[in-house]
Amino acid sequence: MARTPSITLQQLLYFIEVAAEGSISAAADLLYVSQPTMSAAMKDLESRVGRTLFLRSARGVTLTDDGAEFLGYARQVTEQVALLEQRYLGRPPSRRLLGVSAQHYSFVVEAFVRMVKGSDAAEYEFSLRETRTWDIIEDVRTLRSELGILYRNEFNRNVIDKLLRDSGLAFHPLFLADPHIFISRKNPLAARDHVTLDDLAELPRLTFDQGANNSFYFAEEILSTLSSPQEIRVSDRATIFNLMIGLDGYTISTGIISDDLDPEIVAIPLDIDERIEIGWIGHSAIPLTEQAQRYLAELRAVVAGFGVELLG
């Protein structure tokens, strides 16, 4: 009886690098092997698994759906091998690559800082992308990032959940938050113990730009359908905080903000009958790597430190 050829660890390492670079030749250069050798290794791997893992074009390669799923398992295997070598062969810790894509939350950054500081690797490679809602979902779908962090509520839940299902992803709740406004400490409203929508009528509303997918359902802020006489869209947290200080603008978010990372900004409760559900998204059929689990543990610890009750 013919024996099915095994997948080699080297092929998995090659595959992970090709997926990360989006190019067989770039991965070959990075790993100091010839382009024909790398190309042959990928064709042999696809032959062994009996599935097309890459779509090839003049611009490079992209993962197929089967390839994205295979990448998740390949990362699991190589991570476990690295841990074995570290424990039993005395090799240094691996670089422990992890990618996270998120909406613009300071607690996401604080947890990331804790994770990196807690790493015992002499060298490491992580990525943190604060980006648009659509791009977060696309990053996780294509495994550019292993985890995504975003919010949903009654308004956008059906649209977000359908998009996640269609992408083979699942939403995992982390916590529920009461809406707050973020404003400068110098803003006259900063002395209030709560504010109403009427209090905000004369202030510039600051929102994160969603680019071509600028649907109300992908807005990062609740109440996105309400009109505002003064509205400014921005693309990053540094800009939005500068506009809070310079223009007395506001944005609506979770109320969780780090004094260490954002000392000039305060959170004031907003009197509305809404809740914000924050959660992480990942592939439904792919288990998380240990590094991703470490990050989620740090994320939960940061949120719990603000007295917020965790879900799940």
pLDDT digits (tens, 9 = 90+) for 41-92: 999 999 999 999 999 988 888 888 889 889 888 888 888 887 787 778 777 6
Of the ranges 3-7, 102-106, 206-210, 237-241, which one carries the lowest mean pLDDT score? 3-7
Token pair 């791009």 in the structure block, residue: 135
Beta strands across the sheet bearing 126-130 = 126-130, 98-102, 147-152, 276-283, 169-177
In the predicted model, what is the mean pLDDT of residues 258-268? 83
CATH architecture of 104-173+278-305: 3-Layer(aba) Sandwich (3.40)
Give the Cα separation of 12 and 99 in Å (integer): 18
Helical packing angle, 9-21 and 35-49, nearest 10°: 110
Closest CA to 105 of 253, 218, 206: 253
Q: Examine the pLDDT at 2 and tell me if it is beyond 70.
A: no
The string over 108-135, giving b where at least 16 C-beta atoms fall within 10 Å of a residue's C-beta and e elsewhere, is bbbbbbbbbeebeeeebebebebbbbbb
**214 φ/ψ angles, rounded to the nearest 5 degrees:** -85, 50
pLDDT in tens, 121-159: 777 888 999 999 999 998 898 778 899 999 999 999 999
Three-class SS of residue 204?
coil
Half-sphere exposure of 260 (CA within 13 A, CB side): 7
Retrieve residue 248's tokens.
Answer: 């007395």
Q: What confidence score (pLDDT) does residue 94 get?
A: 61
Retrieve residue 29's tokens.
Answer: 């250069």
Q: Which residues pair with 112 in a beta bridge?
A: none
According to CATH, the topology of domain 9-76 is: Arc Repressor Mutant, subunit A (1.10.10)
Give the Cα separation of 47 and 5 in Å (integer): 10
**272 φ/ψ angles, rounded to the nearest 5 degrees:** -145, 155
**pTM given for the model:** 0.78
Three-class SS of residue 175?
strand
- Give the residue range(s) of CATH 3.40.190.10 domains in the chain: 177-276
Q: What is the CATH number of domain 177-276?
A: 3.40.190.10
**Residues written for the chain:** 312
- Give the residue range(s) of CATH 1.10.10.10 domains in the chain: 9-76
